[in-house]
Structure 1
Amino acid sequence: MLCQECSKRQASVHFTKIVNGEKMELKLCEVCAKERGDLDLGHGEHFSFHKLLAGLLDIDELQVIGEKVIEKVTCKNCGLTEQVFVNSGRLGCSTCYETFGFKLNPLLKRIQGGTAHVGKVPVRAGGKIRIKREMQNLRDKLNLCIAKENFEQAAIIRDEIRQLEKETERGGS
């Protein structure tokens, strides 16, 4: 589909807004979207590409949930506030991951589809990690078999787990 602004380039930015059941769509190419900067969505609202992260995190100085007012969160170790985190996009220390985890986890799920790392593993550590994952999968299967009272299958899985445990004790990969 061509850009609705210039009608020359392919539209790569698609924005859809639904208000009171009415659907409004805007399809722009990257050049027109950058030139436009803020998209005027009508009703005095603006969307800025530069404020996307802040919008996803939805952080204000004070957050009101129901009748409770929750003050902004600050890292106890380095003093980083939510507002500084949103503006910079960077955490200050390792404690920040725990402090801002309630905001990071939903954000990571929306952006990446999950919070578990499933990427590449270093070659040296790969064997041990593979065995640990396999053992965890077998333990999960073992628990299911026990819950279903399938004790014969559970005994087979138990033996497989013991074999993997022996392998890790010997330092196998």
Structure 2
Amino acid sequence: MRNGVRIERHLCETHAAEHGIAVQPAGKIGELIKQHVSALTQAAQAKGNVCPTCRLTFAEFKQHGLLGCAECYRIFEGQISPLIERAHEGGVKHVGKTPRRVSCEIDESARAKAELAARAERLSRIRVELETAVRAEQYEKAAKLRDELRRLAEGPGRGDV
């Protein structure tokens, strides 16, 4: 009251405490809200980032030892990399087995690349021999080399690679 006039103010708990008014939330819901606000305040003050996807903080990760989602690995990379390195005794590069299906595909791909490289090498070698034969006026040899070049150029199944 001021000058005999009753003044009504609506203050939050923090501002009421600043004005010397002790506010005790009534009932269970009040206690839940108070705990929730306290937890949010502590989380905001906690050092570290917050995952934008699952809202996990680094403090929560340290407490539970579990990340919330795949994005957490990127967000907390700086903090968890040393932990992962220590847990795996420095071995942070995957060197395990590959599935057979993938392994076969890799082998076939590597074999195909090797065959193409060998074929290109052979074509190059034959072209050099052809030029040498023409310069030396060995026309019969040059004709055979020319025919072999054509056969190899037609397709990979035709040549002896």
* Range into which the TM-score falls when normalised by the shorter chain: 0.3 to 0.5
> More helix per residue: 1 or 2?
2
Question: Which structure has the bigger radius of gyration?
Answer: 2
Provide TM-score, normalisation by structure 2: 0.36
State the TM-score, normalized to the length of structure 1: 0.34
Question: Which structure is higher in strand share?
Answer: 1
